Chain A
Amino acid sequence: MELLRFATAGSVDDGKSTLIGRLLYDSKQIFEDTLEALEHSTMLRGEEGMNLALLTDGLRAEREQGITIDVAYRYFATPRRKFIIADTPGHVQYTRNMVTGASTADLALILVDARKGIIEQSRRHAFLASLLGVPHLVLCVNKMDLVDYDQAVFERIKTEFRDFAAKLDVRDLQFVPMSALNGDNVVDRSANTPWYEGTSLLHHLEEVHIASDRNLIDCRFPVQYVIRPRDDKHHDYRGYAGQVASGSYKVGDDVVVLPSGFASRIASIDTADGPVEEAVPPMSVTIRLADDLDVSRGDMICRPNNQPNIAQDVDAMLCWFGERAALKPGGKYALKQTSKWTRALVKDLHYRLDVNTLHRNEDADSLSLNEIGRVTLRTTVPLFFDDYRRNRATGSFILVDEASNDTLAAGMIL
């Protein structure tokens, strides 16, 4: 059974909680005690029926204020796949939440209300999903029951969204007309939309092809940890542990270790279950080399004829999450990329991007909370990286405040 991670975006008004509730309920992932507790707390709040939003609002402050503050993770499975939902709320901190949820997602669901069509928020969500390199996008046109399942409404929204998405980097875009409340096209295809020739949402989630979304070409293995047992049985054992970021590693492959540039050959690929012939993402393995080299955490094992960029100056799109201070040119931060920590200086802020209009403000001199812009950074040691579009694992980094240790920004290398 394969694992699919998806992010959901949209506000409560779009019926997002209802949709998640339905997916969980129809796949029998909402349990009776959860339902009972839900009914009870809905009643205590003086509301009627069942407030499905309370399912995802796990914190006291969220229930008190009636808003979702933070990303919530939900799990369900069908016989075909296991799903992890990152439910990203749209009220406050929407950029931070959407970026967090989308960063590991294979697919993003964006909900729109059929009566309202594409609104500013829909465009913002689509842009963020594209910026974070989410390979598959599904626009759920919800509340079709309130527009009499009118095909013309659906087609109009579809055309409008497609025109906007053409400006973005979206590889796979699907549209589903639905009513989350009534269950139309959520789990099964609905008789109310005979003109719709696509599949139900759940069917799409089960079938969408994600295995080839992985980069199996560029071999990148960031060394995480060096395993040296130092006991009698494994006296000379020296293995480089890590998770394959991209590419396919085979026993016998010629490799080069960065930054030293020393060449060697893969002697074996070890796991606790025994050696394997080949390692691909996202496998966590231990690589042993034929030669005795000095390799440590933060180094990268690559192929001689396909190496990442190596540089101290990088251009990147930056999403700023710092609440106390804004990003300004001249700022210095701790930076983590793959398994390496270094320091970075912000040399230049080229522009700030308006996430609603995609307008570039080149006069901007800072990035505040939830703002996005293009920067040039200089690091204290060279980074081994690829364009984020080509490689999410080696093209991403975070910036951390050196005094407070807060995570301040997510960066995508251009």
Chain B
Amino acid sequence: MARGLTHDRKQTMHRLISHLDALESESIHLLREVAAEFERPVLLFSGGKDSVVMLHIAKKAFWPARLPFPVMHIDTGHNFPEVIEFRDSSVERLDVNLVVASVQASIDTGRVVEETGPRASRNRLQTTTLLDAVEQHGFDAVMGGARRDEEKARAKERFFSFRDEFGQWDPKNQRPEIWSLYNGRHRKGEHIRVFPLSNWTELDIWQYIADEEIELPSIYYAHRRNVFRRDSMLMAVTEFLRPGEGEEVFEATVRYRTVGDATCTAAVASTAASIADVIAEVAASRVTERGATRADDKFSEAAMEDRKREGYF
């Protein structure tokens, strides 16, 4: 793409393509393959930065037409209010259709049982809600914003990743993916997960957000918040998460590096208030974003792999 290139610069650049242009082109190619080859695709949209970038690129891929598929939010009910507001205003502004699949509804109908105890989270329950929604709506392609640099099991993911009729991932039996010739063929009841941002890193995402002036939920930038320390991470006090005994609440300047379920997503101490501050912080960071902020990955070496096998994002 010619993002931000002036005519003059194009001449002197002698057709050099920047890494962000190359990544964006690759993602657009994937999104168009999905629209062309599947009957009922859907794009997962949580209001988190990766899904915001994915949706932004999807809009560009089909411009000036509307998005030829809906977006879906798997709503745990444990949301940051800023993120839900952002989700709704984005859907309005970008003129896309939103499907909400609710974990609360899965609990109410007895499909899943709520975890109990101080470490209870609805993170794992999302898988059932997601798979039920895929079945109910007959989605045959589910696009997610996961990146290979996030986590070691994700480093082994394909762009087009096959899921059987139980929604399961079999990492030992993946289809080889050669050139950019993606194989999305599947039988009825099976589906394909598609990851258009596979090759992007956290820093690429932020540089792109800066270049494209993409709006994000405010909690990605530094703000004051009441938090407490748990497993050496900063957890926000919300209506869904209360400090336990001996966990002292204090006010701190924090921001979020990832945005997920409010009960298992931690904040990081940060004064980065602008995109430029965040880029400087990410570039200098010595801890991965999931390591810094996700309680769900801390259970075991294979926590992500196990969840992905069951059908997680």
- Residues of chain A having any CB pair with chain B under 8 Å: 1-3, 28, 31-34, 37, 41, 55-61, 63, 69-75, 77, 81-82, 84, 96, 99-100, 103-104, 211, 216, 224-225, 227-231, 233-234, 237, 241-243, 248, 270-274, 276-278, 280, 282-286, 297, 321, 334, 336-337, 339, 392-393, 396-398, 400, 405-407, 410
Contact = CB atoms under 8 A, between A and B. Distances in A.
Given A55-B152, A103-B179, 12 more contacts: A3-B18, A33-B292, A61-B172, A72-B152, A73-B155, A75-B149, A211-B16, A216-B15, A229-B66, A272-B59, A285-B1, A321-B176
Nearest to B154: A58
B154 to A, nearest CB: 8
A208 B303 CA distance: 39
A59 B25 contact: no
Nearest to A234: B64
A74 to B, nearest CB: 7
28 contacts: A31-B285, A31-B286, A31-B288, A33-B287, A37-B291, A56-B155, A70-B171, A72-B156, A75-B199, A82-B19, A96-B176, A224-B29, A224-B33, A225-B32, A230-B65, A242-B32, A243-B25, A243-B29, A271-B63, A272-B64, A276-B10, A278-B15, A283-B2, A339-B36, A398-B181, A405-B162, A405-B186, A407-B175
Contacts of A32: 286-287
B15 A407 contact: no
Nearest to A279: B2
B50 to A, nearest CB: 15
B107 interface: no
Contact of B1 (A61, A228, A273, A396): A273
A274 B156 contact: no
A99 B19 contact: no
Interface of B: 1-5, 7, 10, 14-19, 21-26, 28-29, 32-33, 35-36, 59-66, 148-149, 151-156, 162, 171-172, 174-181, 183, 185-187, 198-199, 201, 203-204, 285-288, 291-292, 301-302, 305
A284 B181 contact: no
A337 B287 contact: no
Contact of A227 (B7, B25, B62, B185): B62
Contacts of A84: 199
A6 B151 CA distance: 20
Contacts of B148: 73, 75
Contact of A3 (B23, B172, B178, B181): B23
The B interface is mostly helix, strand or loop, or mixed, namely: loop
A71 B2 CA distance: 31
Contact of A237 (B59, B64, B177): B64
Contact of B183 (A70, A248, A283, A407): A407
A271 B60 contact: yes
B179 A396 contact: yes
Contacts of B186: 405
Contacts of A280: 15, 17
A231 B64 CA distance: 10
Contacts of A211: 14-16
Given A59-B171, A73-B199, A283 B301 contact: no
Contact of A104 (B66, B155, B179, B302): B179
Question: Which one of B14, B65, B203 has the greatest number of beta carbons of chain A within 10 Å?
Answer: B65
B291 A337 contact: no
A407 B2 contact: no
A159 B57 CA distance: 49
A282 B180 CA distance: 11
Contacts of B29: 224, 243, 284
B164 to A, nearest CB: 11
A224 B36 contact: yes
Contacts of B22: 3, 282
Contacts of A3: 17-19, 22-23
B212 to A, nearest CB: 9
A273 B176 contact: no
